[in-house]
């Protein structure tokens, strides 16, 4: 028996690496190995209850982008749209300092120079801000990553403002989703958006459009889609975050589901004071009696 | 924000508003997302004027991006960590209450939430010489209790009076009064809120009230519980960190709310109290 490290570099990753192009496919190899890597123009959704590591993952990905190439980063610019005023600059700086070989103020400031933050306090303001940011995307060709944390922040306010009509309630978010898709495709960006699990999962499956989105493998995942259809349609890749209920309080798991290919993957994360890290999944080769080899995960 | 009306921004006259409305363009969003060439033709307005109008509206109503380096500079000068005055609580909070963040204290009745608030208010007003806005919606604040806490810190009556003057109390018994009080607040503050406990419907487990929509808001949450086991006296409470952006959760400290500070605590235990 032997153990083999479970991560194969795909052909595209190898090429990108050799050619020296800063492809966002390398943004997080553990999360996005092989054909499910985020391609420029992709929209990914991080979904989960509070305290499960979604925002921490965003800091992890942001750090990876804004760090210089010499320190293992991609040296691209990031635009972070914060809708619930949760952004913690000190936390981002902690994550950066932990990754730098020599963390001096100068280097940190240069990294942060590649980072842009916008606060939005309503869905209308979010939409108008996206329109005015279009000029920024034109002027910053190295701006590759767009983050929205979180897209569900205005859900209840929009519902109240829309009155009885579901169309009215969802209209602004629908326009935001459509405009985001347009921006992401036109300017070759990758969008990571977080949505919070504010709805409890129903214990029985219901008939109706929502059941079209539940998948048998979602049984373990607390997911009930509540944002507008327009958003559901533009998402390529949905990643569910959850916390392990066991005593170890800093281990989290996430299930990543590529919506087109329906590939499901599970990963484990450790959240520490200095940032998050992936727990390596090791596989064991098991020899069966008739000589058939089977990969068994430990 | 939303409807187009005369005077909303330079260049938006009543005539222009009427012309646009005639073509179904009522709101700022309608105008910004419209095809301006088409609008210019249909409404008989100048294309250039419409483009300028769009630019002005966007500049006025959209949010402006900040550069990370500038933000960091500003943060270094304006952030502060306020000690709560209770050593064990400070440990759970990674030195104290951080400005710019919301910290939630949650617990059942009699668990000591109001006592913690009073201690913190007294410490910030007297020990740190800073102003405190105390919004009371439960009626738990009394001047005499605050005075008692301050008297335990210093015998000097002038100091006590000075500290009391720095604590501004607002009674808010409905959400609108509370929102009014918060609207007037301008400076960088650290916010501490208390919340009650409720039971989860299916499992019967205790959980913080106000549901999932609120639970995302605070960065830090501490659960106060009446201590169990041998040696738990009437005034002892356990404080458990159940949410934090900086420290691993599950750590517990023992707090004696009867006395001013803490008693010698047992080594930090891991695990969930319920």
CA distances (Å), A225 to each of A142, A157, A218, A230, A292, in order? Answer: 33, 17, 12, 12, 42
Pick the CATH number of A25-200+224-279 from 3.30.1050.10, 3.30.70.920, 3.40.50.300, 3.40.50.1390: 3.40.50.300
Torsions phi, psi for B165 (to 5 deg): -65, -25
Residue B243: closest CA among chain A residues belongs to which residue?
A51
Q: Where are the alpha helices (DSSP H) in chain A?
A: 11-19, 54-66, 89-99, 105-112, 123-139, 155-161, 166-186, 229-234
State the average pLDDT over residues A187-213: 65
Of residues A91 and A291, the one with the higher pLDDT is A91
pLDDT, tens digit (0-9, with 9 covering 90-100), for B48-100: 999 999 999 999 999 999 999 999 998 888 888 888 888 888 888 888 888 88
State the average pLDDT over residues A66-77: 88
CB within 8 A of A294, min separation 6: which ones? A285, A286, A288
pLDDT, tens digit (0-9, with 9 covering 90-100), for A254-270: 777 777 666 666 666 66
Query: Does A214 score more than 60 pLDDT?
Result: no
Query: Does B119 score more than 80 pLDDT?
Result: yes
Torsions phi, psi for B222 (to 5 deg): -120, 130
Residue numbers of A between 263 and 282 with CB closer than 8 Å to B = 271-273
Write out the DSSP string of B56-95.
Answer: HHHHHHSPPPEEHHHHHHHHHHH--EE--S-HHHHHHTTT
CB within 8 A of A270, min separation 6: which ones? A250, A251, A252, A276, A277, A278, A279
State the average pLDDT over residues A273-282: 61
pLDDT at site B261: 40
- Distinct helix (H) and strand (E) counts, chain B: 11, 12
Contact (CB<8Å) A132/B62: yes
A90 CB within 8 Å of a chain B CB: yes
- The structural domains of chain A, with segments of one domain joined by +, span 25-200+224-279
CA distance A175 to B218: 29
pLDDT class of A30 with cuts at 50, 70, 90: low
Nearest Cα to Cα of residue A193 among A138, A234, A221: A234
| Neighbour-count burial of B36, counting CB atoms closer than 10 A to its CB (0-12 exposed, 13-18 middle, 19+ buried) | middle
Cβ B115 vs Cβ B107: under 8 Å:
no
A49 CB within 8 Å of a chain B CB: yes
Query: Which candidate from A92, A128, A271 shows the least CB-CB separation from B32?
Result: A128
Query: Does A23 score more than 80 pLDDT?
Result: no
Contact (CB<8Å) B68/A117: yes
Query: Does A77 score more than 60 pLDDT?
Result: yes
CA distance A210 to A33: 30
């Amino acid at each position: 028996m032997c153990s083999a490290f479970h991560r194969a570099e795909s052909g595209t990753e190898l090429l990108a690496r050799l050619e020296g192009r800063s492809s966002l496919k390398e943004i997080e190899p553990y999360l996005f190995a092989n054909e499910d890597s985020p391609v420029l123009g992709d929209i990914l959704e991080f979904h989960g209850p509070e305290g499960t590591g979604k925002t921490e993952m965003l800091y992890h990905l942001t750090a990876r982008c804004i760090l210089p190439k010499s320190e293992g980063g991609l040296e691209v610019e990031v635009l972070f749209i914060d809708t619930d005023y949760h952004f913690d600059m000190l936390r981002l700086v902690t994550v950066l300092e932990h990754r730098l070989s020599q963390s001096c103020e100068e280097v940190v400031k240069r990294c942060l120079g590649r980072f842009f933050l916008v606060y939005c306090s309503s869905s209308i303001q979010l939409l108008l801000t996206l329109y005015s940011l279009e000029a920024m995307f034109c002027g910053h060709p190295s701006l590759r990553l767009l983050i929205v944390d979180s897209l569900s922040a205005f859900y209840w306010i929009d519902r109240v403002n829309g009155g009885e009509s579901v169309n009215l309630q969802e209209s602004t978010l629908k326009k935001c989703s459509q405009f985001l898709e347009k921006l992401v495709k036109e300017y070759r960006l990758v969008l990571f958006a977080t949505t919070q699990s504010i709805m409890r999962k129903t214990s029985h499956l219901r008939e109706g459009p929502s059941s079209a989105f539940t998948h048998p493998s979602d049984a373990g995942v607390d997911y009930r889609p509540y944002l507008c259809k327009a958003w559901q349609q533009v998402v390529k890749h949905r990643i569910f975050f959850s916390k392990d209920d066991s005593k170890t309080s800093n281990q989290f798991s996430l299930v990543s589901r590529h919506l087109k290919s329906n590939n499901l993957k599970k990963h484990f994360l450790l959240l520490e004071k200095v940032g998050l890290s992936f727990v390596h999944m090791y596989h064991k080769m098991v020899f069966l009696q008739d000589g058939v080899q089977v990969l068994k995960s430990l | 924000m939303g409807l187009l009306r005369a005077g909303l921004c330079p260049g938006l006259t009543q005539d222009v508003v009427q012309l646009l409305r005639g073509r179904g363009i009522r709101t700022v969003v309608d105008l910004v997302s419209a095809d301006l060439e088409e609008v210019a033709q249909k409404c008989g307005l100048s294309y250039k004027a419409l483009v300028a109008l769009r630019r002005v509206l966007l500049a006025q109503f959209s949010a402006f991006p900040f550069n990370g380096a500038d933000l960091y500079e500003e943060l270094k000068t304006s952030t502060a960590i306020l000690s709560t005055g209770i050593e064990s609580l400070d440990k759970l909070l990674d030195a104290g209450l951080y400005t710019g963040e919301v910290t939630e204290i949650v617990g059942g009745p009699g668990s000591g939430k109001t006592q913690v608030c009073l201690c913190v208010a007294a410490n910030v007003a007297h020990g740190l010489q800073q102003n405190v806005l105390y919004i009371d919606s439960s009626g738990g604040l009394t001047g005499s209790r605050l005075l008692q806490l301050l008297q335990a810190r210093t015998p000097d009556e002038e100091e006590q009076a000075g500290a009391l003057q720095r604590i501004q109390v607002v009674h808010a018994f409905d959400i609108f009064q509370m929102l009014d009080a918060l609207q007037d607040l301008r400076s960088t503050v650290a916010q501490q809120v208390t919340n009650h406990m409720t039971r989860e419907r299916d499992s019967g487990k205790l959980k913080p009230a106000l549901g999932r929509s609120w639970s995302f808001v605070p960065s830090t949450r501490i659960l106060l519980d009446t201590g169990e086991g041998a040696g738990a006296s009437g005034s002892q409470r356990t404080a458990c960190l159940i949410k934090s952006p900086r420290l691993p959760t599950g750590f517990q400290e023992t707090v004696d709310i009867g006395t001013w500070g803490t008693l010698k605590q047992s080594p930090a235990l891991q695990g969930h109290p319920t």
